[in-house]
Structure 1
Amino acid sequence: MKTSLAVVLSLALFTACSSPKSPSESSLTEPMDTKTYEFLIGTYTDSLHHGINYLSLSPNENLLTVETIAAGIANPSYVIATKDGSKVFALEEEAGIAGGKVLSFSRNTQDQTLTLIDQKDSGGDHPCHISISPKEDFLILSNYTGGSLSLFRIDSLGMLSHVQTIQHYGKSINSDRQEKPHVHSTNFDREGKRVIAADLGTDKLYVYQFDPSSEKSPLTLEQEFPMTPGDGPRHMAFSPAGNGLFVVEELTATLDIFDYSSGQLTSKQRLSLLESGFTGSVGAAEVRVSPDGKFIYVSNRGEANTISVFGKRPSGEYVWVENVPSGGKMPRNFALTDDGKYLLSAHQASNDLVVFERNPETGKLTQTLWRASIHKPVYLHQLP
């Protein structure tokens, strides 16, 4: 933890002003949209000036702004907030004797400044993902290099207390990437009764029962679900109803679709993110579901740099709709706005973020002219 974090200041403001439509089109043919979309942005850092960013998008005002609101944090690659936006949780994706760090902040909703409440060791090297329980009283860190997951209790003030760390064991067939466990994400299910962990290194999903009343061991392993060898399960998303689970496989650029019920996974579909004839390197990264559950979006890095769109048929089967260029290099993360109108794609390698309009009927994406320069953006979280 950098000592400069003791006083958190807002730093340089970057504003991009451009519009996907001409003024005449937007003012004469469409109703006025006064909604402003706000996001926290996690980044990889190379100086004390980098850190957690705040983004505001006001389509009606043709205004996209980005500012650094918490500098001096080492690689805050994942950042999320409580449902009311009053508290923020981030991590330092670092390695050390006790791993990286998990941080909690209070957020001033007027000027967007963050004030540090607490910090704890992550219990494993390079934490890369955070998940908060539905009641917002626990959070789980995924320690990628450490191959473990760590559970923390959150009190009413935002203070953190370590409860449990679970170490994974094993490996898989890719000797370069799967030489040991690499826990890449952990997600509470909709009921908050179980946690699903995706381990890229062992090619497995781990289903844990979650009992918040247990003081020492709230998480208990229920089952290990093997994936296709060499897949490298990375990130997951539940359907809006919670009865479907979508898993992106980083190493094979594949989307696996499961039915989910009370911890039980039933394989339903396996869809490639690659168009016929593609031969370049891949690195599937993020998966998101549209608010109505009818479309799935998945990003792919490497030499692809695309976002894949899949649509749901009345039968419940998903089919490929389109692959679109992500608008930059290395789309590690992207996010849909809560109303499904826009998709924001963050690019780690080209240091930028672009905005797409989304057709709610077809699911297709159209890149707008809105673009912002951001140093190595790697995660987006929408604020209320």
Structure 2
Amino acid sequence: MTTTPITYSFLVGTYTDNESQGLNQLDFTPSENKLEVRTIFPGIQNPSFVVANSEGDKVFTLEEIDTVPGGNVVSLGRSLKDQTLSKLSELPSFGDHPCYLALSPNEEFLTVANYSGGSFSAYKVGENAGLTHLQTIQHEGSSINQSRQSSPHVHSTVFSPDGKFLLVSDLGTDQVYVYDFDQNASEPLTLNNTYKVTPGDGPRHLVFSNDGSEVFVVEEMTAVLSVFDFKDGELTPKQRISLIADNYEGKVGAAEVRLSPDGTNIYVSNRGDANSLSVFAKKDDGNYLLIQQTTSGGSIPRNFNLTADGKYLLSANQASNDIVVFERDVETGKLTQTSWKVEINKPVYLFRLGD
């Protein structure tokens, strides 16, 4: 009896320099020593973020550009047979430089964060992935770093696992906003409360624990992982853990935070001069401990993701134009860099297919 080799597939968002570049698909088959990437939707500008529905036949991406009335949100059909993409709809993001997308847990709504615009928008996902614009919310304010925080910069929009809340990280105002989400309302989002992080932190991305009781926020400008308890829409600070050593000298730029599929480890990337991946484990007392720091295998690890079985982590290194594979010890969570690496122009996001 022969078994079919396991192939892990990811959609890859990139920054583009010409019309031949765009969205890509990466396929990784360890048992056959194969790591391949190909462009599956060229001609789109800076599709720096990409998500798909659970079936894998609908894909949503964006064009991270600044035009009137903003960048664009694009929905695509994906053939499960030959894995090709075709455009279904396109709408403005209603804010400059869209940089993050999120599908609601029921996959009926889509949100987009506009970094330069300091706003975010919500859409209804209709039949054939057609999008209807529902609402755009503009943030106001600033924080202490005048070169980076003179205005709002919405960097991520993340639904709670139960779909009742949308958490919005704003690097420019140093706040995480908690919005109530009512899918039956014509404008589904209403501000519940805000949490002010340490001034100068610059909250970027966040992720929920699998049960929704904890939230992990990566602070871009101070290279810190902030851990919160989350209950009834309220964030309660629990831990603040640095990604860098006390004697570290150099630039930082913390980027992505992800949870291992089994929920036992947290992973965070740090750009700047560090170019590192940090691994955290949960202790018996419920707190988290930094257990490893390792190189990302390249330069500017803007994004990374894990395979669904937790056996591998793939690091997308924007400045060195490559994606590097690490083996993950499923018992400890620690990473070991492998020899697998593939070249690709400015990879900045990895979305895991097949979940």
TM-score by length of 2: 0.98
Q: Give distance in 2, aligned partners of 1:379 and 1:249.
A: 18
What does residue range 270-281 of structure 1 map to in structure 2 within 5 Å? 270-281=240-251
**Separation of aligned partners in 2, 1:108 and 1:262:** 40
Moved over 4 A (4+): none
Whole-angstrom CA distance in 1 between matches of 2:159 and 2:109: 10
**Which one-letter code corresponds to 1:167 in the other structure?**
Q
Alignment partner for residue 157 of structure 1, among 100, 109, 128?
A: 128
Measured after TM superposition, the shift of residue 261 of structure 1 is 1.3
Q: Are positions 1:259 and 2:229 aligned together?
A: yes
Measure the CA separation in 2 of the matches of 1:344 and 1:262: 34
1 CA distance for matches of 2:141 and 2:149? 9
Please list every run of 5 or more consecutive structure 2 residues that lacks an aligned counterpart in the other structure: none
Shift of 1:33: 8.3
| Letter in structure 2 aligned against 1:133 | S
**1:351 aligned residue:** 321
**Normalised by the size of structure 1, how large is the TM-score?**
0.91
Query: Which residue matches 1:314?
Result: 284
Q: Tell me, in whole angstroms, the C-alpha distance in 2 between the residues paired with 1:207 and 1:226.
A: 11
- Aligned counterparts of 1:299 and 1:96: Cα–Cα separation in 2: 30
Indicate whether 1:182 and 2:153 are aligned. Answer: yes
Alpha-carbon deviation of 1:291?
Answer: 1.5
Matches within 5 A, 1:201-280: 201-215=172-186, 217-280=187-250
Indicate how the Cα distance of structure 1 residues 111 and 255 shifts in structure 2: closer, same or farther if over 3 A, else same: same
**Residue ranges of structure 1 left out of the alignment (5+ in a row):** 1-31
Q: For 1:90, what is the secondary structure of its paired residue? A: strand
Instruction: Tell me if structure 2 keeps the 8 A contact 1:33–1:60.
Output: no
Structure ID, larger Rg:
1
Q: How many angstroms apart in 2 are the aligned matches of 1:294 and 1:66?
A: 29
How many Å separate the matches in 1 of 2:197 and 2:208?
A: 17
Letter in 1 for 2:58: K
Q: Counterparts of 1:5-24 in structure 2 under 5 Å? A: none
Q: Which residue of 2 aligns with 1:324?
A: 294
CA–CA separation in structure 2 for the residues paired with 1:262 and 1:120: 33
Deviation at residue 262 of structure 1 after TM alignment = 2.1
Aligned-residue CA RMSD (Å): 0.9
Does residue 1:136 correspond to 2:136, yes or no? no
Which residue does the alignment assign to 1:19? none
Task: Tell me which residue corresponds to 2:253.
Answer: 283
Q: Displacement of 1:362 after TM fit?
A: 1.2
Cα distance per residue 1:148-173 (max 9 Å; x no partner): 01001101210001000000000000
Q: Please say if 1:101 is aligned against 2:72.
A: yes
Indicate if the aligned counterparts of 1:33 and 1:59 stay in contact, CA closer than 8 A. Answer: no
2:334 and 2:6 map into 1 onto residues whose CA distance is: 22
The 2-side partners of 1:292 and 1:112 are apart by: 28
1:104-115 equivalences under 5 Å are: 104-115=75-86
- What count of residue pairs does the alignment treat as equivalent? 352
| Cα distance in 2 between the residues matched to 1:62 and 1:326 | 21
- The aligned counterpart of 2:267 is 297
Distance 1:36 1:314 in 2: 35
2:332 is aligned to: 362
Say which SS state the counterpart of residue 47 (structure 2) adopts: coil
3-state secondary structure, aligned to 2:31 = helix
Partner of 2:56: 85
Identity of aligned residues (%): 55
